[in-house]
Amino acid sequence: MASITNQERPLDGVTVVSLEHAIAAPICTRQLADMGARVIKVERPGVGDFARGYDTRTNGLASHFVWTNRSKESLSLDLKAEGAGQVIEALLAKADVLVQNLAPGAAARVGLSFEALHEQFPRLIVCDISGYGAGGPYENKKAYDLLIQGEGGFLSVTGGPGEEEIAKAGCSIADIAAGMYAFSGILSALLLRGRTGKGSQVDVSMLESLVEWMGYPMYYAYEGAEPPPRAGASHSTIYPYGPFPCREGGTVMLGLQNEREWAAFCEKVLRQPELQTDERFSANYRRTANRQPLRDIIVETFAQLTVEQILELLEDAQIASAKVNDMHGVWAHPQLRARQRWVEVDSPQGKLPALLPPATNNAFTARMDPIPALGEHSQAILAELGFTSQAIEQLKQAGTL
């Protein structure tokens, strides 16, 4: 990749005010900050974003919070307290984007709906992130990531085949999906405003975001057809594709996509070329239907080999493969190290490692600034907005800050 010659970032000069908590809105706004936007995170005084209290695993800080909140400024503000409206109005007068994922209806109740704001701030983009979206019978229903995994059908296709083996994703995929669509929706709204001069509303629901990701299993089950079965970490409709145990307790992931690869697998990995013409395994749909006897053959062969030996055989046969890394293995992944993807960011507890954003651009480096303490920037932001020291002190005394 060519060397960086221009340090101007694409969202330099864009100001985002975010009434956010948990993951969906914070992962969206952190990515805006990565691209140069100034993100002012409005948090409840004394408590802050409740994700701050999820755990203390990262040098005393919460793992979720560290992940989603670098490069932001923290303003502590009780939206319901005396004088809060004046602060919000001053913020929005200079803002380009308002993001919120408060409880259903909460933003509207304090006058922060797009309809209430658009006349006063016609260039303001408002992004509302919720569980189920505006309107409909679920509009006011509370939503958390795991619940949306259930409502969106994700849980029906994950885990093992038995009812007791249903499994959720190991990360907050519904929140992440909503945050990603909010991020791209805001970018498109900024482009649109560049042409029209007017702000617009971006409405993102966790349910719709996750259902979009469920497109393949939904179409597979089109018009009442049998849905794809739960297959653990294996592929439900392609085989062999998934994890296989090997000697010394290791596990190897592999995936076959076509008959050329199946032939190479039989000859170079299993060393049983006669399996190519075995009627049980002569096409993917047959291998899928007869996955247990084929699995037995693979497991018997792999039991004699270490992970490294199997990976070498698979590489020689040009079969896609991977290790099953735990989190410690990912921290130490040689590819991430070789590509220099880890940098350090500051935090209230000192330096912490952070992964550079995956979409690397050769024209600029991503912004990787500190993770804020609660209310760390309150006084500076209010002074910038024109509040006097006396007015700031009065807000503190009133419990507004």
Backbone torsions φ then ψ of 98, nearest 5 degrees? -115, 125
Q: What angle do CA 17, 19, 21 make, to 5 degrees?
A: 130
Check: pTM over 0.85? Answer yes or no.
yes
Sequence-ordered list of residues with C-beta below 8 angstroms from that of 155, at least 6 positions apart, any chain: 149, 166, 167, 168
pLDDT, the chain, mean: 94
Q: Identify the band that residue 145 occupies on the pLDDT scale cut at 50, 70 and 90.
A: very high
Sequence-ordered list of residues with C-beta below 8 angstroms from that of 87, at least 6 positions apart, any chain: 77, 382, 385, 387, 395, 400
| Each residue's pLDDT tens digit, 262-313 | 999 999 999 999 999 999 999 999 999 999 999 999 999 999 999 999 999 9
pLDDT at 76 over 50: yes
Domain boundaries, the chain: 15-213+334-397, 241-324
In order of 32, 340, 352, 398, the CA distances from 334 in angstroms are 28, 10, 19, 53
| Each residue's pLDDT tens digit, 198-244 | 999 999 999 999 999 999 999 999 999 989 888 888 888 899 999 99
* CATH topology assigned to domain 15-213+334-397: Rossmann fold (3.40.50)
Cα 13 from Cα 36, distance rounded (Å):
8
Domain made up of 241-324: CATH architecture: 2-Layer Sandwich (3.30)
Mean predicted confidence (pLDDT) in 373-392? 95
Sequence-ordered list of residues with C-beta below 8 angstroms from that of 91, at least 6 positions apart, any chain: 17, 40, 42, 75, 381, 385
Least confident residue range of 57-66, 67-76, 159-168: 159-168
Same fold: 15-213+334-397 with 241-324: no
| Dihedral, CA of residue 348, residue 354, residue 357 and residue 358, to nearest 10 | -160
Q: Token pair for residue 148?
A: 């949306």
3 state SS of 1? coil
pLDDT at 6 over 70: no
pLDDT at 2 over 90: no
